[in-house]
Structure 1
């Protein structure tokens, strides 16, 4: 039997990651921040690569090809913000691809389509000169106005066709980088980036341009009727950010207390910005599909994580089928690198993906026990269930009683959402639960929302559109008759960022949802990531125990082991 073919993808931008394909299928993948415990960590990739090799039980010599991607850099084999794992060996071969191409391959590799169009929209991609140095054959596809530009210009949005094996660029738009002036509303990326615009408004509202997800959560509290101006215009096939809107925003946040004092104002700004992004995304993608129609569309890049805009895009019906890449941000670059290596460079056939985003390694009972032993001085009650049924019965009962559960199961999710492997679970309808989790477990702002997890086949019972949303990146509207029962997972405008749970890759979570419905009459659970504000999602049992210790979590489930605090009432 021939040895397996391993292709390693590595992303070295912020939100760095590594992914290993085995014979064309993902066998392991991890974001660097999950191991280093530094939010949005990137740069040197040795830590993430070693995790993948160890999880698969192989060495670097077993890898056939490495494909890498970093924004604004073509990384050296030996050094990139420290010595790399490749420094002392000549093999495997390392090749480079551009930022948007990595995004695009991450989508087509995991999508259900054998042929499709692909749209990439983000904050900023590769500079044109680096793009051409990596892909010189693409020069003929670049507009002459971009080739003649003397200032640095970077990928802004890209539109491709995938024929089942290879991506062909159809439209690539570039933009100059923003000028050197420093104002609260200076776009941190290119001059005409949707992602850059949203980051600039995030900085204005929160004082942090990385809080774009928080901005989407704030928007439902606002009203944009007082803002009768636009941030975007479409000219000659290119989406541009105007400058006129900036003059209307002269009151940047001066800290959290100031933000709370002027909450309504900042919520209105967030609502306006959200609506601008929604219109811009639909306008841009509709234009591309008008020129190159296709029934199947893959959508990726950081802007594709905007769940509200995604739902509006789906409702616009500009494509029959849309696949939203769950790791659409830069954490997905390694995934795209690996798929490029398999499909384009090695010219191997696409292997069907099962839809799972759970690429992390599983922790053994021995590792769990070792972590528990370190906490032997704590007054925790521990017990182990040998089979699923009593564990599920116990968890459903406690959730129905109003207890909060840290749910640690199997390999962790790849991407920004916890989908039932590293989750905090709670009752969706007990009054005050949302505020309790935000304040005493997540240690974050009280307006931040939580997601409803629901069985795929029951989503239409509780939500109006009944969207299939396995990755928690589409919103829906909670049906009016369930607003009270789902008060902790429904935004103030009636919307909810739904997760539809599938048995094929989340069987234990399905069992829990079924049992909770039997006991409570509600087939929905509150689901949020197993972390606190500013902390990457928990990866190891030790980290889960740390969060359990410092927060008001009631119960921790580590695979089949239950950990309770001694003050838990039974």
Structure 2
């Protein structure tokens, strides 16, 4: 029997990660922040790489190929922000690829398509000189005016065709970097990117750029039509940011108290920015598909996490089938690196992906009991359930009574959304539950929304479009007759970022939802990530117990073990 072929992908920009393929299938993957416990952590990849090796029970010598990607440089194999594990294995082959190519391969590798178009839109990709050094044959796809540019320019958006084996570049747009200054709107991104624009507005509204998703959560509270100027314009098929819009906004947030006093103002700004992004994304992709039509579209890059724009894109019927990459931001670069190694470098056939996006390791009963046996944890009395049905019925009963549950099951999700493996769960309709979780468990702003997790076959009953949305990456509208029952998971404007729960890779969560449905009459649960503000999603049983202790969570479920306060 032949030994398995392992390909390791590693992303070294912010939101670093590592992914291991075994014979073309993902066997393990992890984001570095889950291990270092530093939000958006990147740089040296030892933690994430070692996690993958340990989870699979192999060593570096067992790996056939490593593919890596960093944003602004080509990393040294032995040293990158500290000594690297690869320094010990001199004959291990390591290949470098560019930023947008990594995003694109992460999408095609996990998509259901054997052939498709691929769109990548983000804040900033690889610099032009690095891109050409890595892929000299693709110089022909870069316009002469960009090639002659004397300032630093970086990837802004890229469009590809995937033929079932390899990606072919069709169009690439580059932009100058935004000038660094003390200006309110200074950015570490390209000057004309959708992602950069969104991050700028987020900084204006909240005072930080690390959590731009908050802007999407604030936008439903705003009103359309307050501002009548445009942020973007298209020239010769390329997208540009108008600088004039910055002159319209002169009241940046001065902290959370100031934000709350001026809430309506900032909500209207967020609404305007969100609508600008929706129009820009649609126009950009329409332009590319008009030149290179295809019925299947993959979409990746940080901007592809905008669930509202994604829904508009799907509703536009711009393509028959659209796959939104669940780990569309830089945490997905390692995925793309690994698939590039398998498909492009080793020239191996694409292996169909089962739709799963949970690539973390599973913790054994012994590992969980070791945590409970620590002296500081002996104050908690745990109960072990030996029958899965008994466990889910018990938890469903508690949820129906209004208890909050930390739900820790199997291997963790890869990407920004908790999908029922590392989740906080609660009743979707009990009065004030949303405020309680924001205030006493998540310790975050009270306007922040929560997602409804719904049984896949029931989504059309509760939501207008009834979209299939297994990765919580599309919004829908809650039907009017269910607004009261789903008040904790419906935004101010009636929208909801829905997760349809798949039995094929989330069977225990389906069982819990089914049990809750039988007891409550509602096939929906409030689902949010198992963390608090500023904290990466928990990875280990000990971290879950620590979070349980520091918050107002009522119940912690670690696999088949239950503890209660």
Alignment match, 1:34 = 34
Structure 1: distance between partners of 2:504 and 2:445: 35
1:469-493 Cα deviation digits (max 9, x unpaired): 0000100000000000000000010
**TM-score, structure 2 as length reference:** 0.99
State the secondary structure of the residue aligned to 2:239. strand
Using the TM superposition, give the Cα deviation of residue 210 of structure 1 relative to its aligned residue in structure 2, in angstroms.
Answer: 1.5
Asked whether the 8 Å contact 2:176–2:190 carries over to 1, the reply is yes
Q: Report the equivalent of 1:469.
A: 469
Confirm or deny: 8 A CA contact 1:420 1:509 kept in the other structure: yes
Deviation larger for 72-81 or 142-151 = 142-151
CA distance in structure 2 between the aligned counterparts of 1:499 and 1:383, rounded to whole angstroms? 30
In structure 1, how many angstroms separate the alpha carbons of the residues matched to 2:178 and 2:401? 53
Show the counterpart of 2:193.
Answer: 193
Contact 2:454 2:498 (8 Å CA) reproduced: yes
Show structure 2 runs of 5+ residues with no match: none
Corresponding residue SS for 1:485: coil
What is the SS of the residue equivalent to 1:267?
A: helix
Q: Over residues 399-435 of structure 1, what are the superposed CA-to-partner deviations in whole Å (9 max), with x where a residue is unaligned? A: 0000000000000000000000000000000000000
Q: Which deviates further from its counterpart, 443-452 or 89-98?
A: 89-98
Which SS does the other structure have where 1:87 is aligned?
helix
Q: Deviations over 1:214-268 (max 9, x none)?
A: 0000000011322000100000110000011011000000111111110110000
1:147 to 2:147 alignment: yes
Once residues 133 and 53 of structure 1 are traced to their aligned partners in structure 2, the CA distance between those partners, rounded to angstroms, is: 30
CA offset at residue 378 of structure 1? 5.2
For 1:343-492, list aligned pairs within 5 A: 343-374=343-374, 376-377=376-377, 379-492=379-492
Distance (Å, rounded) in 2 between the aligned partners of 1:243 and 1:192: 9
Q: CA deviation at 1:145?
A: 1.2
| Matched ranges for 1:221-300 at <5 A | 221-300=221-300
CA–CA distance in structure 1, aligned partners of residues 250 and 544 of structure 2: 42
- Matched residue, 1:568: none
Matched length: 565
Decide whether the 8 Å contact of 2:180 with 2:188 is kept in 1: no
Q: Is this contact kept in 2: 1:188–1:199, CA < 8 A?
A: no
**Which residue of structure 1 aligns with residue 91 of structure 2?**
91
Alignment partners' CA distance in 2, 1:299 and 1:86? 32
Cα deviation 1:102-145 (Å, max 9, x = unaligned): 00000000000000000000000000100000001111222111
Deviation at 1:379, TM superposition (A): 3.4
* Corresponding residue of 1:105: 105
2: CA distance, partners of 1:44 / 1:271:
38
Describe the superposition over 1:70-98 as per-residue Cα deviations: whole angstroms up to 9, x where unpaired. Answer: 00010001100000001122132000000
1:163 and 2:133 matched? no
Asked whether the equivalents of residues 188 and 200 of structure 1 are also in contact (C-alpha less than 8 Å), the reply is no
Compute the displacement of 1:386 (Å): 0.5
Gap runs ≥5 in structure 1: 566-570
* Residue deviations 1:3-46 (CA, integer Å, cap 9, x gap): 00000000000000000000000000000000000000000001
Superposition deviation, residue 541 in structure 1: 0.1
Correspondence list, 1:497-512, <5 A: 497-512=497-512
Cα deviation 1:499-554 (Å, max 9, x = unaligned)? 00010000000001111000000000000000000000000000000000000000
> Contact 1:305 / 1:329 at 8 angstroms: preserved in 2?
yes
- Aligned runs of 1:541-552 on 2, under 5 Å? 541-552=541-552
Deviation of 1:462 (Å): 0.3
Contact 2:383 2:561 in 1 (8 A): yes
For the residues of structure 2 that align with 1:466 and 1:283, how far apart are their CA atoms?
25
CA contact 1:490–1:496 (8 Å) conserved in 2: yes
Q: Secondary structure at the match of 1:149?
A: coil
User: RMSD of the alignment, in Å?
Assistant: 0.8
Looking at structure 2, the residues matched to 314 and 422 of structure 1 have their Cα atoms a distance apart, in angstroms, of 28
Counterparts of 1:276-355 in structure 2, within 5 Å, are 276-355=276-355
Shift, 1:188, TM fit: 2.8
With structure 1 as the length reference, what TM-score do the two structures score? 0.98
Give 1:73's aligned residue: 73
Quote the Cα distance in structure 2 between the aligned partners of 1:438 and 1:373.
31
Contact 1:21–1:338 under 8 Å retained in 2: yes
> In structure 1, what is the Cα distance between the partners aligned to 2:252 and 2:310?
28
Q: Distance in 1 between matches of 2:147 and 2:10?
A: 29
Deviation at 1:377, TM superposition (A): 4.9
- Aligned partners of 1:156 and 1:175 also within 8 Å: yes
Q: Is the 8 A contact 1:224 1:269 kept in 2?
A: no
Q: 1:54 — aligned with what? A: 54
For 2:195 and 2:448, locate their aligned partners in 1 and report how far apart those are by CA, in whole Å. 21
Classify the secondary structure of the residue corresponding to 2:546.
Answer: helix
In the alignment, the residues of structure 1 paired with residue 60 and residue 496 of structure 2 have an alpha-carbon distance, to the nearest angstrom, of: 44
Q: What's the counterpart of residue 14 of structure 2?
A: 14
SS where residue 488 of structure 1 aligns?
A: helix
Report the Cα distance in structure 2 between the residues aligned to 1:264 and 1:213, rounded to whole angstroms. Answer: 18
**1:94 to 1:377, Cα distance in 2 relative to 1, 3 A:** closer
1:380 shift after superposition:
2.3
Distance 1:131 1:387, change over 3 A: same
Question: What secondary structure sits across from 1:341 in the alignment?
Answer: helix
- The alignment status of 1:522 with 2:522, answered yes or no, reads yes
